[in-house]
Amino acid sequence: MTMPSQGLKPALAPPTLWICEHCDTVYRRRKLARGEVARCVRCDALLARHHSIGVRGMFVLVITAMIAFVQANIWPIVTLGLNGHQISATLWGCIMIMWREHAQVVAVIAALTLFFLPIVKMGFLFWILAYARQRRRAPGFRWIMVTLYRVGPWTMSEVFVLGALVAIVKAHMYFEVQANPGIFAYGVLMLIITAFSSIDVRRFWDLTEETPA
């Protein structure tokens, strides 16, 4: 029997190792040169990459993304015309109509992946980065980082942009179609998401120092 004082908390190994998440191979950490990417020898998965975008750069990107997101949501995305009638769609217009037309599941998926979770992601990143600029950990750092990790794969704005493109082409077969500012704001958002996709947010654990509570 182990003594209760030894507890269930695992002792920390020194932070000098990388463990490949895809095959469990252990590597000694090393500094990466500019633009360098470390890959696992066994399974070729990404271990770590050198980040050319620093904390300040990321902070600016997040703020730009927030502005683009607001624009993308207040302006209509596309307008259709038929016999002088005009109808525009916004993201919330899509969500509401799917709810009313008995596709509530789709409405919920769209509201989460295109509205609420992106807001959570951007808001949390903003909060973490605002403090990380002074190498400090924001209040609530631990659970925010865990939430960011869990939310990670569930934001789909970039898929929605491609969807808008397909919808425009489909509608163009029968209607006059006009692209609105919303779609351009979404385009900007898509570029920022692409720039951000190579960034592993888990590096904030190493970039910031623990402040004694």
Partner 1 sequence: MSELPRASDLGLIGCHVCRMVCRDVKAPDAACPRCGSPLHKRKSGSYTRTWALLIAAFMFYLPANILPIMRTVSLGDVDDNTILSGIIELWVKGSPDLAVIVFTASIVVPVLKFFALGLLLISSQRGSQWAQRQRGKLYRLVEFIGYWSMLDVFVVALLTALVQFGFFSQVEPLPGVVFFGLTVVITMIASMTFDPRLIWDGRDSDD
Where along the sequence are the contacts to partner 1 (CB under 8 A)?
A: 8-13, 15, 17-19, 21-26, 41-45, 77-78, 80, 82-83, 85, 87-90, 93-95, 97-98, 101-103, 105-106, 109-110, 113-114, 142-143, 145-146, 149, 153, 156, 159-160, 162-167, 169-175, 202, 205
Nearest to 47 by CA among 63, 64, 66, 23: 23
Residue closer to partner 1 by CB (options 5, 60) is 5
Q: How far is the CB of 202 from partner 1 (least distance, A)?
A: 5
CB of 174 to partner 1, least distance (A): 7
* CB closer to partner 1, 45 vs 63: 45
Burial class (CB in 10 A: 0-12, 13-18, 19+), 146: exposed
Q: Cβ closer to partner 1: 134 or 143?
A: 143
Distance, CA of 213 to CA of 6 (rounded, Å): 23
Picking from 47, 63, 44, 66, the residue whose alpha carbon sits closest to that of residue 55 is 63
Cα–Cα distance list, 156 to 82, 114, 118 (Å) = 31, 6, 8
What are the structure tokens assigned to 181, written together?
């500012």
Distance (Å, whole) CA 176 – CA 158: 25
Q: Based on CB atoms, which residue is closest to partner 1, 37 or 97? A: 97
Least distance (Å) between residue 39 CB and partner 1: 11
In the complex with partner 1, which residue's Cβ is closer, 70 or 105? 105
User: Six-digit token pair at 103?
Assistant: 């596709």
CB of 63 to partner 1, least distance (A): 25
* Residues paired with 150 in a beta bridge: none
Of 36 and 44, CB closest to partner 1? 44
Tokens describing residue 203:
């590096």
Contact, 20 vs 42, CB < 8 A?
Answer: yes
Instruction: Name the minimum Å distance from CB 93 to partner 1.
Output: 5
